[in-house]
């Protein structure tokens, strides 16, 4: 089994594949000030198994395109959407986020939680803009430094993992430079990392290792996740996901 299949096996059962929470998704919806007088057309990019997609479908009168490049996650999303009675509002699309087949001005809202880093914040913010209607809303979460300075060990870890990590003012500057008006920003609280993401993942480690015969590959994946969790636990005052809400101008 390759690493991708192992990662899918570890993460498919989870409610979400990155830090986040229902309350925070709803807060972002409020900050976006969506026009609820008519059905909305929404793209949820890097949707995973659909934590945000399904909540948006439940809360809004919307037609949602859920995009991910892992079919296994999209299959799981469809099962969950059916269980929750919102399957008719959601279309899944297996596609890479850097090659989206959308038309210019097709969407009222582009939503993306914990996923834009896969093509880079600036590339995503700039290339997805054309898919929004004038006045359309962009809601993205992105790993963000919470202060101007931080321990060197942490800086060097993230610099090698994701060099685009930066403070919120820099991210908001990118949003502005690429033709949006910022409408809101908030930081995901600690429970979005621990209770909603890391603790459920930790509870799956033993069964995951068992299923894969404690192979070196499976152990390496668990070790990497444990390392990430330990880093967060030590340095959580210095970074989180920022949620950025902006309007296309
Ligand atoms: N939004 C979900 C959530 O918050 O639970 C998933 C977040 S997870 C950290 C990132 C997601 O992006 C994964 O589902 C992954 O399969 C997807 N992804 C990564 N690279 C991608 C790409 N190039 N195109 C489309 N999806 C991608």
Testing ligand 1's pocket by substitution, the residue of 118, 140, 141, 201 carrying the most ligand atoms inside 8 A of its CB is: 118
pTM of the model: 0.98
Ligand 1 contact via 118 beta carbon (within 6 Å): yes
Beta strand 239-248 pairing with 132-145: antiparallel
pLDDT in tens, 68-77: 999 999 999 9
Place of tokens 């994701």: 162
pLDDT in tens, 101-138: 999 999 999 999 999 999 999 999 999 999 999 999 99
How far is residue 204's CA from residue 120's CA, in Å, rounded to a whole number? 29
Closest CA to 57 of 37, 29, 33, 32: 29
Max distance between CA atoms of the chain, in angstroms, equals 54
The Cβ of residue 226 has, within 10 Å, a number of other Cβ atoms equal to: 14
Position 233 confidence tier, pLDDT thresholds 50, 70, 90: very high
Position 37 confidence tier, pLDDT thresholds 50, 70, 90: confident
Ligand 1 contact via 100 beta carbon (within 6 Å): no
Mean local confidence (pLDDT), 31-48:
95
Q: From the alpha carbon of 20, which atom of ligand 1 is closest?
A: 4
List the residue whose alpha carbon is closest to atom 18 of ligand 1: 46
3-state secondary structure of 114: coil
Ligand 1 contact via 188 beta carbon (within 6 Å): no
Is 16 in contact with 49 (CB distance < 8 Å)? yes
Alpha carbon of 49 to ligand 1 centroid (Å): 9
Q: From the alpha carbon of 18, which atom of ligand 1 is closest?
A: 9
- Is the interface score ipTM higher than 0.95? yes
Name 90's Cβ contacts closer than 8 Å, sequence gap at least 6. Answer: 50, 53, 54, 57, 64, 65, 66, 77, 78, 81
Q: What is the DSSP string of 161-204?
A: H-TT-EEHHHHHHHHHHTTEEEEEEEE--HHHHIIIIIHHHHHH
3-state secondary structure of 112: strand
Ligand 1 contact via 81 beta carbon (within 6 Å): no
Residue 225: φ, ψ to 5°: -65, -40
Ligand 1 contact via 11 beta carbon (within 6 Å): no
Is 47 in contact with 225 (CB distance < 8 Å)? no
Is 41 in contact with 63 (CB distance < 8 Å)? yes
Testing ligand 1's pocket by substitution, the residue of 115, 141, 143 carrying the most ligand atoms inside 8 A of its CB is: 115
């Amino acid at each position: 089994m390759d690493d991708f299949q192992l990662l899918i096996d570890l993460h498919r059962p989870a409610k979400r594949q990155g830090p986040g929470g229902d309350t925070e998704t709803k807060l972002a919806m409020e900050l976006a000030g969506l026009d609820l007088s008519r059905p909305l057309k929404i793209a949820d990019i890097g949707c995973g198994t659909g934590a945000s997609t399904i909540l948006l479908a439940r809360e809004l009168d919307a037609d949602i395109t859920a995009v991910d490049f892992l079919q296994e996650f999209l299959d799981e999303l469809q099962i969950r959407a059916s269980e929750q009675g919102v399957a008719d509002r959601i279309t899944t699309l297996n596609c890479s986020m850097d090659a989206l087949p959308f038309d210019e001005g097709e969407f009222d809202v582009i939503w993306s939680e914990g996923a834009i880093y896969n093509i880079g914040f600036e590339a995503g913010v700039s290339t997805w803009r054309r898919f929004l209607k004038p006045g359309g809303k962009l809601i993205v979460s992105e790993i963000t430094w919470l202060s101007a300075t931080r321990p060197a060990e942490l800086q060097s870890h993230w610099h090698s993992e994701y060099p685009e990590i930066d403070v919120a003012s820099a991210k908001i500057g990118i949003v502005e430079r690429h033709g949006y008006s910022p409408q809101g920003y908030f930081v995901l609280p600690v429970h979005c990392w621990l209770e909603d993401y890391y603790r459920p993942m930790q509870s799956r480690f033993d069964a995951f290792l068992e299923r894969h015969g404690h192979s070196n590959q499976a152990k390496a994946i668990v070790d990497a996740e444990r390392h990430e969790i330990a880093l967060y636990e030590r340095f959580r005052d210095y970074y989180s996901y920022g949620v950025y809400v902006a309007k296309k101008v």
